[in-house]
């Protein structure tokens, strides 16, 4: 019986402790960490203004120094509107300056890229250019042969700024997908007020995907430690067959998901059926990146909440500016693609046109800016 007297005092000692812990849990300071919505709003505001042009180098006489020079440009696939839009704009700018730029039409087959490089070598081109996704190291024998033949090798819009550069190129122009990750994360925090639970769908066979995703995740946690994101990898070849089922399964397994971020906006078309089937279309928004016209149309129609766009005309001019500086022996050659990111949402999607266009809604400061930089006016 000697233990019995001790039990009651022990219970009495524990009761105040439990009450104190419960009280602490109810204090404002013990609540979930507040989201830094102000910081998120600042990031959003920076990319919600029509871009202005800042010269990426000193002026030079492009028309004189490019006279007689030839560039063969190879898009990842002529069937991809994003790729086709960039090279079509490059063709227009080349005509304006007065040099030959030929686009090597292809359907995304590596053997076709090889044929393009061989054609450039055999036909006296000064440079070969890989556009929007072709990784130079995958064509090492051909690019080595091109450089031995005196051609320069260029590549653009294929890497994040944190990815390693290739030893096979003379100019590489990566894009800051990491910045895009920050912008999209800020948008999610602003829209949810924090405590976001995000499904992110990416493609690890696209090189910038991991830096992009990691930047999104890190920014989300920085702006709100209580928010979380889950990453699902779907290869590009499987978008049409696996994005819907992956999104649908995730939504059914975790009903608390309140945002979906397909890293590349063309994925959104396969996410929408999953939202419809699960009855979540009204309460799970989509935010993404690229500014593909049909997706901006989806923003205007309310199917997608936000899309970070990039002007293809600006991409084309930024790419050619660096290429011409390299071919003309200029001391300053950019090492990163200069293209501002601009947010499209329901308030401004109409500025991209009806239907939307790859190069509308961004203003035209880059057109006059580059003309002046190149001595065309």
Distance of CA 100 to the CA centre of its chain: 30
For the segment 208-235, the average pLDDT, to the nearest whole number, is 96
What is the Cα–Cα distance from 360 to 348, expressed in whole angstroms?
A: 11
User: Do 323 and 11 meet the contact criterion of CB atoms below 8 Å apart?
Assistant: no
| Model pLDDT for residues 118-163, shown as the tens digit of each residue | 999 999 999 999 998 888 999 999 999 999 999 999 999 999 999 9
Residue 78 has pLDDT above 90, yes or no: no
Q: Which two tokens stand for residue 97?
A: 């300056």
Would you say residue 22 has pLDDT above 80?
no
**3 state DSSP class of 22:** helix
Q: What is the pLDDT of residue 90?
A: 95
Angle at 34 between CA 275 and CA 281, to 5 degrees: 10
Question: Read out DSSP for 159-178?
Answer: EETTSPPPTT-SEEEEE-HH
**CATH assignment of 62-175+313-338, among 3.90.1150.10, 3.40.50.720, 3.30.200.20, 3.40.50.2300:** 3.40.50.2300
Question: Kindly report the CA angle at 316 between 314 and 320, in degrees rounded to 5?
Answer: 115
- 80-118 burial string, b = 16+ CB within 10 Å, else e? bbbbbbbbbbbbebbeebebebbbbebebeeeebeebbe
> Prior bond to 146 cis, omega within 30?
no
Euclidean distance between CA atoms 133 and 174, whole angstroms: 10
pLDDT at 222 over 90: yes
Q: DSSP labels for 202-260?
A: E-TTSTTHHHHHHHHHHHHHHH-TT-EEEEEE--GGGHHHHHHHHHHHHHHH-TT--EE
DSSP code per residue over 141-162: HHHHHHHHTT-EEEEEEEEETT
pLDDT at 1 over 50: no
Q: Which CATH superfamily is domain 178-309 in?
A: Response regulator (3.40.50.2300)
Q: How far is the C-alpha of 117 from the C-alpha of 84, rounded, in Å?
A: 18
What does the pLDDT read at residue 6? 43
Residue 32 pLDDT grade (very low, low, confident, very high; cuts 50, 70, 90): low
Res 49 pLDDT > 50:
yes
Distance CA 267, CA 287 (A): 11
Average pLDDT, the chain: 90
In this predicted structure, what is the pLDDT of residue 31? Answer: 47
pLDDT, tens digit (0-9, with 9 covering 90-100), for 286-335:
999 999 899 999 999 999 999 999 999 999 999 999 999 999 999 889 99
Residue 27 in this model has a pLDDT that exceeds 80: no
Structural Rg of the chain based on CA atoms: 26
> Percentage of residues in the chain with pLDDT exceeding 70?
91
* Total Cβ atoms within 10 A of residue 15: 10
List, for residues 348-360, the tens digit of each pLDDT value.
Answer: 999 999 999 888 9
Q: What is the pLDDT of residue 25?
A: 40
Q: Is residue 10 predicted with pLDDT exceeding 60?
A: no
Contacts of 350 (CB under 8 A, 6+ apart): 300
At residue 133, the pLDDT reads 80
Q: Are 153 and 105 in contact (CB under 8 A)?
A: no
Domains 62-175+313-338 and 178-309 agree in fold: yes
Q: Is the pLDDT of residue 167 over 70?
A: yes
Residue with more model confidence, 2 or 314? 314
pLDDT cut 90: percent of the chain above it:
81
Name which residue leads in pLDDT, 132 or 271.
271
What token pair was written down for 267?
Answer: 């994925």
Domain ranges of the chain: 62-175+313-338, 178-309
- SS3 call for 183: helix
Widest CA span of the chain, in angstroms? Answer: 107
Alpha-carbon distance of 263 to 290, in angstroms, equals 9
Q: 75-79, 82-86, 337-341 — which one is most confidently predicted on average? A: 337-341
| pLDDT at residue 206, as a whole number | 85
Chain centroid offset of residue 309 CA: 8
Q: Per-residue confidence at 21, pLDDT binned at 50, 70, 90?
A: very low
Positive/negative CA dihedral, 33, 305, 173, 98: negative
């Amino acid at each position: 019986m000697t233990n019995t007297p001790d039990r009651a005092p022990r219970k009495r000692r524990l009761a105040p402790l439990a009450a104190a812990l419960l009280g602490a849990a109810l204090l404002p300071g013990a609540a979930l960490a507040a989201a830094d919505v102000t910081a998120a709003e600042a990031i959003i505001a920076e990319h919600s203004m029509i871009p202005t042009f800042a010269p990426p180098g000193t002026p030079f006489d492009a028309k004189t120094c490019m006279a007689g020079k030839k560039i063969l440009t190879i898009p990842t696939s002529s069937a991809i509107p994003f790729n086709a839009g960039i090279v079509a704009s490059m063709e227009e700018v080349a005509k304006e300056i007065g040099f030959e730029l030929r686009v090597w039409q292809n359907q995304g087959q590596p053997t076709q890229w090889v044929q393009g490089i061989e054609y450039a070598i055999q036909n006296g081109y000064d440079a070969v250019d890989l556009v929007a996704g072709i990784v130079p190291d995958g064509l090492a024998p051909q690019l080595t042969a091109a450089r031995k033949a005196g051609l320069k090798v260029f590549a653009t819009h294929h890497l994040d700024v944190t990815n390693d550069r290739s030893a096979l190129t003379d100019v590489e122009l990566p894009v800051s997908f990491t910045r895009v990750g920050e912008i999209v994360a800020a948008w999610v925090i602003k829209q949810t007020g924090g405590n976001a639970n995000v499904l992110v769908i990416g493609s690890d066979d696209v090189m910038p995907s991991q830096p992009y995703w990691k930047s999104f995740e890190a920014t989300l946690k920085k702006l709100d430690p209580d928010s979380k994101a889950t990453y699902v990898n779907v290869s590009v070849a499987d978008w049409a067959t696996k994005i819907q089922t992956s999104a649908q399964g995730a939504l059914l397994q975790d009903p608390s998901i309140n945002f979906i971020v397909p890293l590349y906006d063309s994925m959104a078309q396969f996410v929408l059926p999953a939202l419809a089937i699960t009855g979540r279309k009204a309460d799970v928004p989509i935010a993404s990146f690229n500014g593909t016209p049909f997706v901006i149309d989806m923003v205007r129609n309310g199917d997608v909440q936000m899309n970070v766009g990039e002007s293809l005309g600006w991409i084309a001019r930024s790419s050619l500016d660096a290429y011409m500086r390299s071919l003309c022996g200029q001391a300053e050659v950019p090492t990163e693609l200069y293209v501002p990111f601009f947010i499209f949402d329901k308030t401004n999607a109409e500025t991209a046109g009806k239907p939307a266009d790859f190069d509308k809604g961004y203003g035209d400061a880059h057109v006059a800016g580059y003309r002046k930089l190149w001595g065309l006016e």
